[in-house]
Amino acid sequence: MKTAPITGQVKSIRGLICDVNLVGERPGIRELLVLTDHPDIFLEVVTYPNQFTARCINYTGSSLVCRGATVKATGTTITMPEGKGVLGRMMNALGQPIDGGPPIEAKSRRSIYQLPDSINDFGGKAPELLETGIKVIDFFTPFVKGRKIGIIGGAGVGKTVLTMELIHNVARDESKLAMFAGIGERVREGNELYNTLKESGILEKTVLLMGQMQETSAMRATVGLSAATIAEYFRDVEKRDLLVFVDNIYRYVQAANELATSLGTMPSEGGYQATLFSDLRRLQDRLSSNKNGSITSVQAVYIPADDLSDPAVQEISQVLDSTVVLSRATAESGIRPAVDLIRTSSSLLSPEIVGDHHYVLATEVQAIMQRYDSLKNVIAIIGKNELSPEERRNFDNAQKIIKYFTQSFFVTEDISGKPGEYFTREQTLRGIEEILI
C-alpha cells in the first residue's frame, strides 16, 4: 500500500456515499481516506466513476463529512487487532472496543480483506463430533468440527436463545475459543449475551464483535469479515479450534443489499443485489478449516415473512451443512426449542459420521414424523379411533418424540424459573430407544 498522503476534497454526499475529487495519484480500492481535521473519521474507496473522482463509503455516517471537507490517504485498509488482547472484549466492525474497557493491546493489525485459505482441508483427519447437550440438535443435526450449521426461523421463534444456549454449552470446552458476530441485531440482545457470558465465566475465552441494528449498513456489512479476520489469526497463528456464532447471517446479506442500493447498482431476483452470491461466499469461504485448526460456525438465519423460498434464504441454505428449522406453529404450541422435526435436515447425518446405530434411529424417527404429519389431517376429519392399531402407535410415538425433544435452557433459567438441562448424545439415543420399543 502507498504511504504518501493523497489529498482531495469532498464533492458530493448521498447518504453514506460521497464523491471525493482527488489531487495526484489515485488511492487503491478499499484504501481509507481520513478527514484532515478529524483523522478518526474515515472514508473507504469503493469505486471510481471517473479518473479524478473516488466514490467512498462514510462508514460511521459521521455528520463531520460534508461538502468541501479535505481528506488525505492513509495507505491502509480496515484492520483488526491481532493477539490475545481481544479475548474477553467486545468490539465494533472497525476493531474499536465498545465494552467500556481500555484500548485493546495488539502487537500488530491485520487487514480484513484476506483471501480464503484452502476450504475444509483437514489434512486427512476423520470428522469429529462436538456434543452440544441439546437433544434435538445432537440427534437430527450433529455438530461436526469444522462445518457450518444454520438455525433458520422467522422473528420471535427463538433463534437467538438457541444460539446463546449453544454458546453456553459448547464454549465450556477449555480447548476451544468462541467468537460471536452480531449482525443487525438489537442492542438489548448484545448486552444480554455479554452479561450471560460474563456470569457463566466464559467471557475471557470469547471474542464479541457487534454491528448492531442502529449502526450504518456499512458497519453491519463489515462486521462478519472483521470476525473472520480474527478467527483466521487464532486458527493459523495460535493453531486453535474456534466456534464462530453469527447472529444473523441474513442481516449480513440485507446490509450488503442496502449498500448496493446506495451505490446505485441494479437489483436482481427478489430485489436483492446482483452480487448476492459473491457477497455471501466472500464471508462463508473465510469461515473455513485447514491443517492448523478448525472454524466451526453456527449461523442464525432470519426468514422474512416466514418464507423459506426467499432467494437470500435459499442461497444461505446452500452453503450450510445442516439446517435447524424453527417453526412458528411449533413455538405457538408452547414447545421449546421450537424445532420443525420434518424440515430440519443435515448432510452430516450419515453412518460414517454418527455411526450405524444413531443413523438407523434417526431414519426411523424421520419416517414416524412424516407419517404423523399426514395423520394429523386424517384425524381432524375422522378421529383417532378410526386409525389402524399401527397408525395409532405411530401417532402416539410421534407425540412422545415431540415432547421428548422439549428442553429447558440454562440461558433462560431466570425467565422460566426452570433449571437448565444438558443431555449427552448417549442419553438422547437411549431416550429415543425407550420410546420406540
Integer Cα distance of 275 and 167 in angstroms: 31
> Mean pLDDT over residues 395-409, rounded?
93
Report whether pLDDT(122) > 60: no
Beta bridge partner(s), residue 295: 242
Beta bridge partner(s), residue 43: 33, 58
CA angle 420, 348, 401 (to 5 degrees): 45
Active site residues: 159, 185-186
What is the per-residue burial (b if ≥16 Cβ within 10 Å, else e) of 374-392? ebeeebeeeeeeebeeebe
The residue with greater pLDDT, 415 or 85, is 85
The residue with greater pLDDT, 317 or 189, is 317
Q: Minimum mean pLDDT among 59-68, 184-193, 294-303: which range?
A: 184-193
pLDDT band at 179 (very low <50, low <70, confident <90, very high): very high
pLDDT band at 315 (very low <50, low <70, confident <90, very high): very high
Give the Cβ contact number of residue 274 at 10 Å.
13
The residue with greater pLDDT, 3 or 244, is 244
What is the per-residue burial (b if ≥16 Cβ within 10 Å, else e) of 300-326? bbbbeeeebebbbbebbbebbbbbbbb
The residue with greater pLDDT, 306 or 344, is 344
pLDDT band at 35 (very low <50, low <70, confident <90, very high): very high
Hey, what's the cell of 46? Answer: 469503493
pLDDT band at 1 (very low <50, low <70, confident <90, very high): very low
What is the per-residue burial (b if ≥16 Cβ within 10 Å, else e) of 162-184? bbbbbbbbbbeeeebbbbbbbbb
Write down the pLDDT at residue 23: 86
Write down the pLDDT at residue 33: 94
The proportion of the chain whose per-residue pLDDT surpasses 90, expressed as a percent, equals 61
pLDDT band at 199 (very low <50, low <70, confident <90, very high): confident
Strand segments, DSSP code E, in 277-339 are 295-302, 322-325
Nearest Cα residue to 150 out of 272, 284, 294: 284
Write down the pLDDT at residue 185: 83
The residue with greater pLDDT, 129 or 119, is 129
Report whether pLDDT(320) > 90: yes
Report whether pLDDT(123) > 60: no
Write down the pLDDT at residue 238: 92
85 in Cβ contact with 106 (< 8 Å): yes
Report whether pLDDT(393) > 50: yes
Write down the pLDDT at residue 117: 72
Write down the pLDDT at residue 5: 66
Write down the pLDDT at residue 120: 55
139-157 per-position pLDDT tens digit: 999 989 999 999 999 888 9
Q: Minimum mean pLDDT among 8-17, 318-327, 382-391, 417-426: which range?
A: 382-391
204-256 per-position pLDDT tens digit: 889 999 998 899 999 999 999 999 999 999 999 999 999 999 988 999 999 99
Write down the pLDDT at residue 400: 94
